[in-house]
Amino acid sequence: MKRLPIAILALACAFTACKKEEDAAPSRDTLLTARNWRLIAHVSSTTTGGKTTTYDEFADYDACEKDNFTKFSPNKTLVADQGAIKCDPDTDQQSNGTWDFNSDQTKLLLDSPDLGGLIIPFELLELNSTMMKLRITQTYGTAPNTVVDTETYTFNAF
């Protein structure tokens, strides 16, 4: 009779262990590479002398820019595609680059041949199966004339 409770306990532990594996959150690599990403918002902010000015950059994008998307591959390469509407018919449909995360995966490091080998570290504000939000901040000058420029980009997965 004592074996039955032990067997039930062992069975419950086995099911619980399986459940935990199934419920494990996908890695950031998996989230990034599972789908294509399209920009849906781009907001800039400039802070000078304690005053911040914010601007909706995406509102000024042309339709041919709004349909562009990026595909991140597990081998750390990326393809930027111009989408169905090309702004300039004489340019290539796609361009290639590379990506990686920094060691604690708080920054997405992007490199493109168009940038001449310059790696741009975007702060990873949010990444889930449907949305990614990146930010880059640059500071110029010295106090009291410091200027802080911030660009925030929001992408939807599809």
Q: Please report the domains of the chain, with CATH numbers, ordered by start residue.
A: 26-157 (2.40.128)
> Mind listing the pLDDT tens digit for each residue in 67-94?
999 999 999 999 999 999 999 988 889 9
The residues that bridge with 94 in the sheet, in sequence order, are 81
Which pair of structure tokens corresponds to residue 128? 């889930």
Q: Give backbone dihedrals phi and psi of 28, rounded to 5 degrees, phi first.
A: -65, -35
Whose structure tokens read 């449907």?
130
Q: What string of DSSP letters covers 51-113?
A: EEEEEEGGGG--HHHHT-EEEE-TTSEEEEE--SS-S-TTS-SEEEEEEEE-TTS-EEEEE-G
> Mind listing the pLDDT tens digit for each residue in 37-72?
999 999 999 999 889 999 999 999 999 999 999 999
Residue type, 31: L
pTM: 0.81
Q: What is the mean pLDDT of residues 106-132?
A: 90
- What pLDDT does residue 112 have? 73
- What pLDDT does residue 18 have? 46
- What pLDDT does residue 46 have? 97
Which pair of structure tokens corresponds to residue 124? 């990873």
Query: Please, what sign has the CA dihedral across residues 72, 76, 79, 80?
Result: positive
- What pLDDT does residue 98 have? 94
Q: What is the mean pLDDT of residues 30-36?
A: 97
